[in-house]
Amino acid sequence: MDVAQIFTEFDTLKTDRQRKYYLSQGAQEPVLGVPTGAMKPIAKQVKNNQAIAEELYATGNFDAMYLAGMIANTKIMTKDDFRRWLKSANFWMISDFIIAVSLSETPYAQELADEWIAGSGDYEMSAGWSCYEWLVGRLKDEAFDQTKLAGMLTRIEQTYLTMPDRTQQSMRRFIVALAISYIPLHDAALQTAAVVDSQVATLPKNQQPGTTLVHDIQHRLSMSRVGLKRKYVRC
């Protein structure tokens, strides 16, 4: 299956409802509206085909860029490849899911995520925090420097309200990931969640999330357990 055939298949899978949803979430045109679940059969046919992934990503079409991440061969992608992809990302579903998730499969994931967290662009910082969310949720606790992760929690407490929206969202997901999947900092993550909740409570109601972080963590733990790890994070 080549790129032209993939777009032909997209035309049979797209829905106006899905397209409107992507646009309402911030996707930038061109957008076809192919449900991500409907892309999985295509991904299975062309999985790990980096040449097709690059061609799809270069189209600038949201649906194609999303599929590119699903089929990317992360074993051969370089740090510069990921930097290039992030530079073209114009939607959080690309930066936080496709790029961050794919990066989490590489041996240099933490190094590049640290670089992005120290950056200044919203999608850049968001992708960095998101990558750690996926890493913490999959890798053994021993793969991380506990002091470093604790410092990241402190950083969130000190900077959360100064961060742009998508970065805030990724910070929140990082806190939740630590509380659920990283046993050594479970209590510390809960404390940071409470701190962020208290900061958010000072904002106007229309700027506050629908639920508190502490409640979100407690709800998730009621259906799971501390220390839960996922075997796979990419579709």
Q: Are 230 and 137 in contact (CB under 8 A)?
A: yes
Range 147-175 average pLDDT: 98
Looking at residue 231, its pLDDT comes to: 80
Kindly tell me if the per-residue pLDDT of 156 is higher than 90: yes
Write the pLDDT tens digit of every residue in 164-212. 999 999 999 999 999 999 999 999 999 999 999 999 999 999 999 989 9
Looking at residue 234, its pLDDT comes to: 72
For the chain, domain boundaries? 1-73, 78-235
CA dist., res. 67 & res. 43, Å (int): 7
Name the nearest CA neighbour of 200 among 188, 211, 185, 191.
211
Q: What pTM does this model have?
A: 0.95
Listing DSSP states for 11-42 in one string gives HHH--HHHHHHHHHTT--S------HHHHHHH
Question: How does residue 235 score in pLDDT terms, banded at 50, 70 and 90?
Answer: low
Looking at residue 232, its pLDDT comes to: 72
Q: Return the structure tokens found at 130.
A: 């998101």
Percent of the chain with pLDDT over 90: 95
Q: Mean pLDDT over all residues of the chain?
A: 96
